[in-house]
Homo-oligomer: A and B are copies of this chain.
Amino acid sequence: MQAVDERLSDALHGTGHRVTSQRLVIHRELRERGRHATVEQVHAAVAERLPGVSLPTVYATLELLEELGLARRVHPGRGPVLFDPRTDAHAHAVCRVCGRVEDVEAPAALDAPVAAARRAGFAETRGEVVVTGLCADCAPRARA
């Protein structure tokens, strides 16, 4: 078993969850991509290795990975939700015309908002930064 799988197994055992082949394959798929992906994309890729996997299972599993701290959910605001294997601080740029999403390598200062949210009574807080705009392809066309 690879280190990637071990990491998930340990996390699952430690939290009283079961280790299933679906979870292993979904997790591995996301890590191999190394990049944010839609549920649909993960589902399509996983279906090749493990035919019959259902979309609700992929949804549930990716959500679980987020709870375990092995992925982060990204809400692009336009188009479907993304799950990102990167858990380090980085932002996302979303094109509001075509929906394209790109990583932005700028560590957003989220400490202040997160701290303020906790003061407002929120627990288990996670911050997210999304920049919306027009991507290089869509900007010219938008002027028309």
Contacts and interface: CB of A to CB of B under 8 A. Distances in A.
Given A113-B104, A116-B91, A129 B128 contact: yes
A65 B128 CA distance: 24
A75 B130 contact: yes
A133 B123 contact: yes
Contacts of A110: 108, 129, 131
B112 A106 contact: yes
Interface in A58-116: 73, 75, 77, 81, 91, 93, 95, 102, 104-110, 112-116
Interface stretch (A1-9, A42-50, A134-142): A134-142
The number of times this chain is found in the oligomer is 2
Contact of A113 (B77, B91, B135): B91
Interface residues of A, number: 41
A128 to B, nearest CB: 5
A32 interface: no
A56 interface: no
A87 to B, nearest CB: 15
A114 to B, nearest CB: 6
Given A91-B117, A93-B117, A124-B139, 12 more contacts: A73-B77, A106-B112, A106-B113, A108-B109, A108-B110, A117-B133, A118-B133, A121-B135, A121-B136, A126-B131, A128-B131, A129-B129
